Amino acid sequence: QLQLVESGGGLVQPGGSLRLSCAASGFTSDFYANYAIGWFRQAPGKEREGVSCISSSDVITYYADSVKGRFTISRDNAKKTVYLQMNSMEFEDTAVYYCAAEFYHCSGHPDYWGQGTQVTVSS
C-alpha cells in the first residue's frame, strides 16, 4: 500500500514562495518510479482542482493554467519524493494541497492520496 505524506505548507505573503514535498512509503524506489504523482488543491467552498502532475518517466509534466510559469514540479525517485516549488504566490493559491499517485500516467484519477497540507497566502 502506497502512503503519501505532504509537508511544507504554511503562511506566506503574496509574491512569496513555498516548496511542498510529498514523501512516499510502502513501495520500493523502483516500484515507486512507475507512479505518476500529482498535486491537487481545494479552497474553501470550491471543488478540488488539479494543479500539476509529473509522469512516471519524469519526462511529462502538466500544469493548470492558473499556475503555469509560477509553479514547478519535480521528483526524486531515490528519495521517493515529489516537490512542488511555488513562486510568485497569489491570494488565490490559498487551499489545502494534496498529493496523489496513479500508475504511470497523469490521467487525473489517482489511486492513492495524502492527507493534505494547508497553504495560506495572506498579507
Q: How confident is the model at residue 28 (pLDDT cuts 50, 70, 90)?
A: confident
CA distance 99 to 41: 9
pLDDT above 70 coverage of the chain, percent: 99
Q: How confident is the model at residue 84 (pLDDT cuts 50, 70, 90)?
A: very high
Q: How confident is the model over 89-119, as pLDDT tens digits?
A: 999 999 999 999 999 889 889 999 999 999 9
Average pLDDT on 47-76 reads 93
